[in-house]
């Protein structure tokens, strides 16, 4: 069965420490240069180059040249979901010296996932929006209600020209095991939160810091209690 071989090939591609580190570094949806990815993986530029080429050819990554830099990002949302799924079953595996440090706690609170928000913050946002009937979520799509349109407009998100599919995919994140808003709407919400200064990238990785303005904003606009998001 040829489809089996492809399965193994793809998994093997992800199953190398250096490549896995690169993929994890890209999981927040940003595009990074080859050099940055080499550093993230702890290998030299030439080694990284080989890895990046293979992953791009296999359709895991997409590459874009910009001047003398080459920016690499995850090729599709499906790849991001796949990596998250891998993290999920890896985390469910028998605990081997886990040492759940503060970095993990920060990740669980708020992070980016591909192009949208994840973690307790994102789940709370999705819950709040559903509770107020601003959005509906179905497994294969989702919709913004008229009330939701107004709400989003108030937030400063006007994107939606009538039939844009502002879908939500579960993107069941590995920490919360509950869905949050992904898709076009998720991306719009995420970038708006950045614009408003509600969240900010933390130094070390893809964990996000919620600013004082953010806590106020989330409470105000979404009715989110800080203690529901804080560890």
Partner DNA sequence: GCGATGCTTCGGCCGCGGCCGAAGCCCCGG
Partner DNA sequence: CCGGGGCTTCGGCCGCGGCCGAAGCATCGC
141 near DNA, judged by CB under 7 A: no
Among 45, 91, 216, 225, binds DNA (CB under 7 A): 45
Q: C-beta of 181: minimal distance to a second copy in Å?
A: 10
Binding partner selected for residue 53 from DNA, a second copy, none, CB under the kind-specific 5 to 8 Å limit: DNA
8 near a second copy, judged by CB under 8 A: yes
Residue whose structure tokens are 């440090």: 101
Pattern of binders to a second copy over 15-54, x per CB under 8 A? xxx-xxx-xx------------------------------
DSSP H helical ranges for 31-119: 34-41, 45-57, 77-92, 102-109
Binding partner selected for residue 193 from DNA, a second copy, none, CB under the kind-specific 5 to 8 Å limit: none
Contact yes or no for 72/24 (Cβ under 8 A): no
Binding partner selected for residue 152 from a second copy, DNA, none, CB under the kind-specific 5 to 8 Å limit: none
203 near a second copy, judged by CB under 8 A: no
Closer residue to DNA in complex, CB, 45/105: 45
Q: C-beta of 51: minimal distance to a second copy in Å?
A: 12
User: How far is the C-alpha of 96 from the C-alpha of 218, rounded, in Å?
Assistant: 37
Cα Rg, the chain, nearest whole Å: 19
Evaluate the CA torsion angle 15, 17, 22, 25 in order and state its sign: positive
Closest residue by Cα to residue 67 from 40, 33, 39: 33
Among 6, 7, 11, 44, binds DNA (CB under 7 A): 44
Q: How far is CA 226 from CA 104, 120, 210, in A?
A: 19, 10, 10
Closer residue to a second copy in complex, CB, 1/162: 1
């Amino acid at each position: 069965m040829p489809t089996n071989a492809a399965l193994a090939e793809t998994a093997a591609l992800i199953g190398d420490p250096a490549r896995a580190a690169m993929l994890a570094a890209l999981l927040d949806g940003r595009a990074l240069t080859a050099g940055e990815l080499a550093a993230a993986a702890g290998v030299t530029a030439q080694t990284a180059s080989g890895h990046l080429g293979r992953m791009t050819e296999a359709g895991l990554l997409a590459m874009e040249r910009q001047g003398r830099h080459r920016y690499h990002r995850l090729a599709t949302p499906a790849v991001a979901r796949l990596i998250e799924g891998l993290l999920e079953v890896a985390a469910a595996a028998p605990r081997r010296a886990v040492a759940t440090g503060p970095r993990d706690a920060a990740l669980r609170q708020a992070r980016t996932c591909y192009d949208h928000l994840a973690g307790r913050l994102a789940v709370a946002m999705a819950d709040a929006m559903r509770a107020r009937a601003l959005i509906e979520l179905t497994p294969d799509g989702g919709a913004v209600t008229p009330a939701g349109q107004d709400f989003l407009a108030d937030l400063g998100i006007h994107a939606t020209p009538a039939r844009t599919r502002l879908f939500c995919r579960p993107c069941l994140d590995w920490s919360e095991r509950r869905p949050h808003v992904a898709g076009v709407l998720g991306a719009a919400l995420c970038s708006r939160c950045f614009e408003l200064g509600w969240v900010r990238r933390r130094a070390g990785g893809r964990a996000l810091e919620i600013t004082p303005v953010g806590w106020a904003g989330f409470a105000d606009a979404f009715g989110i209690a800080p203690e529901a998001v804080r560890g």
